[in-house]
Chain A
Amino acid sequence: MNFLLELAIAALIVLGGVFALVGSIGLVKLPDLLTRLHAPTKATTLGVGGALAASMLFFFGIEDRLSIHELLISVFLFLTAPITAHFIAKAHLHEHVDLRDRLPPTGRPQGWSTFDGVPEADDAERDSDPPPR
């Protein structure tokens, strides 16, 4: 039983290390920022997540005390990672406006909202809505 526990902890640590390394290799090898952006998300979710799960299992199984600080860190990271990626992509697009022509079409009348803004509602649409009470 103890052996299985140690095996699980060691496997989680190795998994976390491998994914942290894979994310950083992707950060170095991929060609431009918008493709590069997706590599470190693996390091954020699986790399740190593996290390945190190993830590929880270690303190609960071997040190025999319940520690839930790890959950705080993982929830915070999982919530903020997409926001960071979104901000970086948006700032990059606004810094290099020439990328605008290479973006895929949105398939709707309005373009990419980061460049064109939120479209004004048509008068017809506004009239069909029930008036606010």
Chain B
Amino acid sequence: MIEPALDFGFFAVSLALLLNLWRLWRGPTVMDRVLAVDTMVINAIALIILFGIEQRTTMFFEAALLFAMFGFISTVAYCRFILRGDVIE
């Protein structure tokens, strides 16, 4: 019963990543692209977790945690660059 649910999960999250890619391509503003990348990071984390369930290993959680941290830091750094013209003043 878990297998078809995992198939559906992979399908849904992959489709979500494609939709985010479309928003990343279209824009229209810079912050739209930042938001699209941020959502892509979230969906990539979901994909990593589903892959971990499928492979029956807990090894990928460190990768997911690193993704979460770098996604947050890059988004905040870019927004700060837009707001202040510099990341670290």
B8 touches A95 (CB 8 A): no
Q: How far is the CA of A50 from the CA of B63 in the complex (A)?
A: 18
Determine if A94 and B83 form an interchain contact, defined as CB atoms under 8 angstroms apart. yes
| Chain A residue with the shortest CB-CB distance to B77 | A87
Interface size on A, residues (CB 8 A): 52
Taken residue by residue from 21 to 60, chain B's Cβ proximity to chain A (1 for < 8 Å, 0 otherwise) reads as: 0110000011110111011001101100110110010100
**B19 pairs with A40, CB closer than 8 A:** no
Cβ of A23 and Cβ of B5 under 8 Å apart?
A: no
Please indicate the chain B residues that have their CB under 8 angstroms from the CB of A10 in the complex: 1-2, 4-5
B65 is an interface residue with CB less than 8 A from chain A: yes
Q: A48's contact among B32, B49, B52, B61, by CB below 8 Å, is which?
A: B49
A88 adjacent to B58 (CB under 8 Å): no
Alpha-carbon separation in the docked complex, A6 to B4 (Å): 11
Q: What 0/1 readout, one digit per residue, does chain B (73-89) give for beta carbons within 8 Å of chain A?
A: 00110011011000000
B2 touches A87 (CB 8 A): no
| A111 to B56 CA separation, bound complex (whole angstroms) | 54
Q: Which one of B39, B79, B83 lies within 8 Å of A23 (CB-CB)?
A: B39
Alpha-carbon separation in the docked complex, A94 to B31 (Å): 11
What are 21 A-B contacts with C-beta separation under 8 Å? A6-B2, A9-B2, A13-B6, A17-B46, A18-B12, A23-B42, A24-B17, A27-B35, A40-B35, A40-B42, A43-B39, A48-B42, A59-B58, A67-B61, A70-B61, A73-B45, A73-B61, A84-B72, A84-B75, A95-B82, A96-B29
